[in-house]
Structure formats: structure tokens, C-alpha cells
């Protein structure tokens, strides 16, 4: 996909990976439409990247329900949707606050799925588009203290695979991004729970994971959209885990070759 002049909606854009994505897409010639709760930092980043700011809380289903329409009314058609926003939950599952399961699932899975549902018909009417869902290796492997977070990311990853199958033959493409540790505030908070922190340390000591700079993630995503690649997996040394999970999905694609993926209108 040619990125020059394309409008890219990025959620969770005020800091961390989201900020790096905004800058990388702007450097590639795209126009960022930025979503986050932090209005001041969002507007500052929009000014720096030549984009637009659209403050919203993705934990509020009412705001999510009208978000795509609102942004397209304020800024123009969305060509690329990057579902990056995410929140962590690090605790023993039964000890977590009463509303944490709903809140994490809402932001990490339900909001991205709903934004896809809103964006896809609009993209199809305009002749094409691209969807990027930022997931995690925590959706593949299991760490103590990350039950709710891991389940939400596993849902997002499998949703993206299903969406890819649903869109087969149509001009809307998908990219699933599966990330190991990226130095951000979210990762730092995960270290507050000792079983999770010690698990991370063990995996890193054994060489299965290493920190990936957020700028590297952003450049990988931009390249994947430009080349319409299905996956971005970082760090590369963790790729075997992703490939093991992906194998049944790819096999199903082969088994269903020739079966229509859309109902006839």
C-alpha cells in the first residue's frame, strides 16, 4: 500500500508504542489520526506529526460505538486502522479488582473488534484499506499474574486470524503484530508483581526473549502495511512460539481452499 497521504487511525497514541507508530507513519507520508485519553499529550503529538487528535476512552463502550464515524467526520476517511491501545492486569486472578476483567477485555479485545466492525464496510465502499492489531506473545504463552491480560490478547490474535479468513479475496488486508517485551510503562507495571517479574527474568535468561525498542516495532508495522504482510513478530527469537500457534490456522486455510469466504449477495 502506498502510504503517502493515507490517513491512519492509531489508538493508544499518546505515549509508548503508539507515539512511535504516529511518528513512523508520519515520516512515511501518512496522516495520523490519534486516539487516547490524554488530551494534552495527544494534541502535542498531533501537532508534531501533522495529524489530528481525537480524545476518547476505549473502556467506554458508548464512546467506542461512534468513534469511527466521529473521526471521519472530523478528519476524513480512514485508510488504515491500528488498534494499539492496551492495558495490563498483573495480579493473581482471584485477587484482582472486581471490574478488572471487564475493563481489560473491553480495551484489549472488544474495542478493537468493534472498531474493525465499524471501519471495514467504510473501507470496502472506498475500495480498500488495512487493519493492524497489536497483540502480544502473552496471548500465546502463559505467565503467572497475567491471566486476564493474556486471555484478552489471545482473543485479539485469534480474532485477527478469523478476520483475515472472512476478508479473503476482498481489498481490506490485516496484519497481526505479536510482541515480546517492549520497554514501556505497561511493561514496567508488570514487574510490580513478583511471580510475573521472575517469570520474565527466567525467559530472558534462557534467551527466548529480549527487549525490542518501540521504534523498531513502529518501523516493522509501517513496513508491514506498505508490503501488506500478515504478521510482525518481535523479537525474532520468539517466532517459533507464534509459528506453532499459527500452524492450525494455516492448515485450515489450505483445507478450505475453494470454499467461498463471503456469501453471495
- Annotated catalytic residue 193: no
Determine which one of 135, 136, 150, 199 is catalytic: 135
Count Cβ neighbours within 10 Å for each residue of 68-101 and write b for 16 or more, e otherwise.
beebbeebeebbbbbbbbbbbbbbeeeebeeebb
Which runs of consecutive H residues, i.e. helices, occur in the chain? 16-27, 39-49, 61-65, 67-74, 100-105, 111-126, 147-166, 185-190, 194-205, 214-227, 239-255
- Annotated catalytic residue 149: yes
Determine which one of 149, 173, 199, 242 is catalytic: 149
Determine which one of 153, 157, 173, 193 is catalytic: 153
Instruction: Please give the Cα distance from 113 to 58 (Å, whole number).
Output: 12
Q: Are 215 and 24 in contact (CB under 8 A)?
A: yes
- Annotated catalytic residue 173: no
CB within 8 A of 195, min separation 6: which ones? 143, 144, 145
Tell me the CB-side half-sphere exposure of residue 124, using CA atoms within 13 A.
10
Residue located via cell numbers 534462557? 206
Residues annotated as catalytic (active site), given as ranges: 135, 149, 153
Amino acid at each position: 500500500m502506498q502510504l503517502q497521504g493515507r490517513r491512519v487511525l492509531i489508538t493508544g497514541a499518546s505515549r509508548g508504542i503508539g507515539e512511535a507508530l504516529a511518528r513512523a507513519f508520519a515520516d512515511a507520508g501518512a496522516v495520523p489520526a490519534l486516539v487516547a485519553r490524554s488530551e494534552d499529550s495527544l494534541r502535542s503529538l498531533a501537532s508534531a506529526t501533522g495529524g489530528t487528535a481525537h480524545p476518547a476512552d476505549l473502556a467506554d463502550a458508548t464512546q467506542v460505538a461512534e468513534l469511527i464515524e466521529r473521526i471521519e467526520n472530523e478528519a476524513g476517511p480512514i485508510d488504515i486502522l491500528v488498534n494499539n491501545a492496551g492495558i495490563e492486569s498483573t495480579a493473581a486472578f482471584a485477587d484482582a479488582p472486581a471490574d478488572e476483567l471487564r475493563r481489560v477485555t473491553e480495551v484489549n479485545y472488544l474495542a478493537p473488534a468493534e472498531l474493525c466492525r465499524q471501519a471495514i464496510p467504510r473501507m470496502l465502499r472506498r475500495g480498500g484499506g488495512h487493519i493492524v492489531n497489536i497483540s502480544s506473545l502473552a496471548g500465546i504463552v502463559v505467565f503467572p499474574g497475567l491471566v486476564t491480560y493474556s486471555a484478552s490478547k489471545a482473543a485479539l490474535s485469534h480474532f485477527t486470524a478469523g478476520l483475515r479468513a472472512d476478508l479473503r479475496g476482498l481489498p481490506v488486508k490485516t496484519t497481526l503484530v505479536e510482541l515480546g517485551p517492549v520497554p514501556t510503562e505497561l511493561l514496567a507495571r508488570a514487574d510490580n508483581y513478583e511471580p510475573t517479574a521472575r517469570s520474565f527474568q527466567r525467559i530472558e535468561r534462557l534467551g527466548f526473549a529480549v527487549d525490542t525498542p518501540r521504534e523498531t516495532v513502529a518501523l516493522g508495522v509501517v513496513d508491514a502495511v506498505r508490503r501488506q504482510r500478515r504478521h510482525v513478530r518481535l523479537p525474532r527469537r520468539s517466532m517459533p512460539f507464534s509459528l506453532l500457534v499459527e500452524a492450525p490456522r494455516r492448515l485450515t486455510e489450505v483445507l478450505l481452499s475453494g470454499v467461498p469466504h463471503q456469501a453471495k449477495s
